[in-house]
Structure 1
Amino acid sequence: MAKYMKLAWDWIKNPSVKGDKVIWIVILLLSLTSLLVVYSSTGTLAYKVRGGNTSYFLFKQLRLLAMCFCIMYVVHRIPYRFYSMFANLTLVVSVGLLILAKLVGTNLNDASRWITIPGIGFNFQPSELAKLALILHVSRTLSRYQGKEGCRNEAILHLIIPILVVCGLIFLDDFSTSLLLGGICYLLMFIGRVAKKYMIGSVAIVVIVLVLLIAAAPLLPSVGRIQTVRSRIENFFGDEKDIKDGQNYQVVQAKIAVVAGGIIGKGPGNSTQRNFLPHPYSDFIYAIILEELGWSGGFGILILYLFLLYRGGLIVRKCSRTFPAFLVIGLTLSIVFQALTNMAVSVNLIPVTGQPLPLVSMGGTSLVFTSAALGMILSISDWANKEEMKLNEEEN
């Protein structure tokens, strides 16, 4: 292991790798954690679907992470201005794919939000592309309409309509993703100094619509996953009387894992709740981390994501232009908020959402687009560092 760590460190120090080196280290540490915990948490799954081949999912995750590092490397070498050029096209494509998923998508977990790529059988989740595309579009629009007094009013329709369309298409099948994405776009608009009347008005309308839809869920049993959202909210705020019906089963098993881990944990590979938790390798992987690595290990993972947020803030401070600054803010918040949501579910701070832990949970689509987002952040970091060096040279 020490040999591979040294090779990885040498690779990070290689001049061909650009951008914030600390972010590269955070990515590497999260990836190593992913391999460790995915291998541990997929034992039961391996016996069910792979005849006991416990190494299958480890090597599958290793291949995915290797592909993701390649994606990060390629994307981080692309100048950030190209992201702005293709922002609108990416948004149109993502909306088209979301509609296609509604019409002919593969039904997984009672939601038609997947597109199966013919030939290879890979399930692609259009909402992950839509998240990236919408953040690109909002960042570009805010930068184009910035004035001395804030964001000009002409930008409102260019912001609100795409946000409503994308979040609306995602909403019925993936409530948590649409809520997170909408919240990040709202924060970007706030940072971009959009007029308060539009901010308050849009939030009021969205809250009213959400409350009405959730309240009317019993009358709309066949509309998306509204009934599931209502049920999860009721279970979260209610007591545990429905455990026998299985409605709180995963929450109870996650609590057991968290308590069993204690401060230092049971040690890697010694989880028992992986045999009882549904999806311990994705939605509830943080519960397995807390059981095996303890609260200290779980806190360490939290620190890595918060450090990513901190480094993103440093990159923003170096940016001399608005588009890259908005883009770094949006992408960094997207990754960190998703991570915090996954962690909060595992420790029962919020209702169950089904959000994976970025770069750690087993999976394909989320890993790919998280890697692309990190590549963009690193690309902007490299540009900001060069701009700062030029400025220092001119001053000297």
Structure 2
Amino acid sequence: MIDRVFSKLKGDRWIWIIVIILSIWSMLAVYSSVGTLAYKNSKGSEVYLIKHTSMIVGGFALMYFSHLLDYRYYAGISKILMIVTIPILLYTLIFGETINDANRWVTIPVINQTFQTSDLAKLALITFLARMLTRKQGNIKDVKKSFIPVMGSVCIIFVLIAWANLSTALMLFGVSILLLIIGRISLKQIALVCVGGGLLLLLVIFVGPRRDTYVSRVNTYMNGGEADPDKSYQADHSKIAIATGGFFGKGPGNSTERNVLPHPYSDFIFAIIVEEYGALGAIVLIALYIVFMYRCIRIVTQSPKAFGALLAAGLGFSLTIQALANMAVAVGLGPVTGVPLPLVSMGGTSILFTSVALGIILSVSRNIEEAKLESNKKVVVGEIPAMG
């Protein structure tokens, strides 16, 4: 039965297994942590579980069809995504839905579903960078032909996202720098990109509409909430959830901090998981993301084409860094941000975009497997002696 299922799923089998485990764990954790939200909106927890499960099923469908498409087609798709992404990000900043003093969401007409446009921008920039770096390998050191187009795309997307979502922009900028290093951009040029990014960061922090929020969060993190305990409320209760979980946890559905923490089903779902499954659960969860990154690195090293290697590296790093950032915030290693835990947090369209990214990685892996099979067939045919 299992072999029959996996025979339909091409690409790295371990990545498929990790995605399935995280998805099941996500349903358990979300169902456990939406009680307060359900009570507030006079709905049953099952309503949110069904909605979340439908998103996971939709994500699996997108992942499956994305991994069937030859990854080389994503080079052309990336151009379309970049052309569409920049106007959408501008539209979001001006007309987007304002939640927690940030314009990050756009409502899709007819279905009345909101989605965070930075999720689309991450996918667009990483695939576009992979394409650009592959196409420019012949004159990669040329400032006019290679450096300026690459730097321009990174900085434009960075500013448009950072204006309303600084944490996501910083992570995406970090992933972009990693891709530039892998893509053989010179260290001098990378340093210039970092300087340019730093100047843009200062512009966003001191001139942007959320400057007071950024300063407040950093001050709260540095001072531990001594000046204003209300501002450290989320971080404090996240630590309480983690501390009371012990090694084996309180058991699924037995969290108490889920009734106190804001957004326990998204931003702080890791704290709820540790409270219910203990340090053992945290170790297993972290191990799953580390193994996922290891499998992505294997795909990078085995890919015969630069574009496939850069795609797997960029998307793999993006998802892993996001996961580590979410967990770091939950344990108090960083200021509070609104970064979800990939494939685990409840978050409609973020699950769908994450699934597409995973599908692209699996497409690269599938191509490697098919190339190996083709190579083996040629070797076997070549060994058969000629008849007559």
The answer to whether the 8 Å contact 1:151/1:192 transfers is no
Question: Could you tell me how far 1:112 is from its partner in structure 2?
Answer: 1.4
Q: 1:251 aligns with which of 231, 235, 238?
A: 235
Question: For structure 1, which runs of at least 5 residues remain unmatched after alignment?
Answer: 1-6
CA 150–103 in structure 1, closer or farther in 2 if over 3 Å, else same: closer
Aligned to 1:236: 221
Q: What's the counterpart of residue 306 of structure 2?
A: 322
Alignment of 1:337-348 (within 5 A): 337-348=321-332
Deviations 1:265-310 (A, max 9, x none): 0000000000110100000000000100001101101100111100
For 1:190 and 1:254, how far apart are their aligned partners in 2?
Answer: 36
Q: Is structure 2 residue 34 aligned with structure 1 residue 42?
A: yes
SS in 2 for 1:330: helix
TM-score w.r.t. the length of structure 2 is: 0.94
Which residue of 132, 137, 140 corresponds with 2:131? 140
Pick one of 372, 388, 392 that aligns with 2:356: 372
User: Which amino acid counterpart does residue 171 of structure 1 have in structure 2?
Assistant: A
Q: Deviations over 1:354-393 (max 9, x none)?
A: 1000000001121010000000011110001111233344
CA RMSD between the two structures: 1.6
**What is the CA distance between 1:103 and its match in structure 2?**
2.1
Asked if the contact 2:89/2:117 (under 8 Å) is kept, the reply is yes
**Contact 1:172–1:226, Cα closer than 8 Å, also in 2:** no
Which amino acid counterpart does residue 292 of structure 1 have in structure 2? E
Distance 1:213 1:31 in 2: 35
Tell me if 1:106 matches 2:97. yes
Counterparts of 1:208-247 in structure 2, within 5 Å, are 208-211=199-202, 214=205, 216=206, 220=207, 223-244=208-229, 246-247=230-231
CA contact (8 A) 2:79 2:128 kept: yes
Does the residue aligned with 1:176 lie in a helix, a strand or coil? Answer: helix
- 2:163·2:204 contact (CA, 8 Å) conserved in 1? no
Q: What code does the residue aligned with 1:370 have?
A: T
What is the deviation of 1:312? 0.5
Name which of 14, 17, 20 aligns with 1:22: 14
Q: 1:68 touches 1:367 (CA, 8 Å); kept in 2? A: yes
Aligned to 2:386: none
Partners of 1:94 and 1:294 lie apart in 2 by 40
Cα contact 2:224–2:232 (8 A) shared by 1: no
CA distance in 2, matches of 1:10, 1:130: 36
Secondary structure of the 1:224 match is coil
- Which of 282, 287, 291 aligns to 1:307? It is 291
**Counterpart in 1 of 2:337?**
353
Distance (whole Å) between structure 2 residues aligned to residue 111 and residue 11 of structure 1: 46
Q: Which residue of 2 aligns with 1:3?
A: none
Q: Once the two structures are superposed, what CA deviation does each residue of 1:49-98 show, in whole Å capped at 9, x if it has no partner?
A: 134x1211111111110111111111111111110112111111011111
**Alpha-carbon distance in 1 for matches of 2:94, 2:204:** 22
The number of equivalent residue pairs is 379
- Cα distance in 1 for partners of 2:63, 2:201 equals 36
Q: Give 1:137 shift.
A: 0.7
Once the two structures are superposed, what CA deviation does each residue of 1:322-358 show, in whole Å capped at 9, x if it has no partner? 0011000000001100000000000001111110000
Instruction: Map Cα deviations across residues 153-180 of structure 1 (whole Å, 9 max, x no partner).
Output: 4211121111111111011100001101
Residue identity opposite 1:45 in structure 2: L
In structure 2, give the amino acid aligned to 1:16: K
Within a 5 Å distance, the mapping from 1:87-102 to structure 2 comes to 87-102=78-93
Larger displacement relative to structure 2 (181-190 or 196-205): 196-205
Letter in structure 2 aligned against 1:126: T
Q: Report whether the alignment pairs 1:277 with 2:257.
A: no
Identify the match of residue 173 of structure 2 among 182, 185, 189: 182
**Cα-to-partner distance string for 1:106-144 (whole Å, 9 max, x where unaligned):** 111111121111222100211111100000110001111
3-state SS, counterpart of residue 248 of structure 1:
helix
Q: Are positions 1:83 and 2:74 aligned together?
A: yes
* Post-superposition offset of 1:151: 5.1
Change (3 A) 1:250 1:150: same
Say if 1:142 and 1:151, in contact at 8 Å, map to a contact too.
no
Q: CA deviation at 1:212?
A: 6.0
Q: Structure 2 matches for 1:261-272, cutoff 5 A?
A: 261-272=245-256
Paired letter, 1:115? V
- CA distance 1:12–1:349, change in 2 (3 Å): farther
Q: Which residue pairs with 1:334 in the alignment?
A: 318
* Residue 164 of structure 1 pairs with residue 148 of structure 2: no
AA aligned opposite 2:365 = S
Contact 2:93 2:164 (8 Å CA) reproduced: no
Deviation, 1:209, is 4.2
Q: 1:131 aligns with which of 101, 110, 122?
A: 122
1:129–1:369 CA contact under 8 A, matched in 2: yes
Q: Is the 8 A contact 1:106 1:116 kept in 2?
A: yes
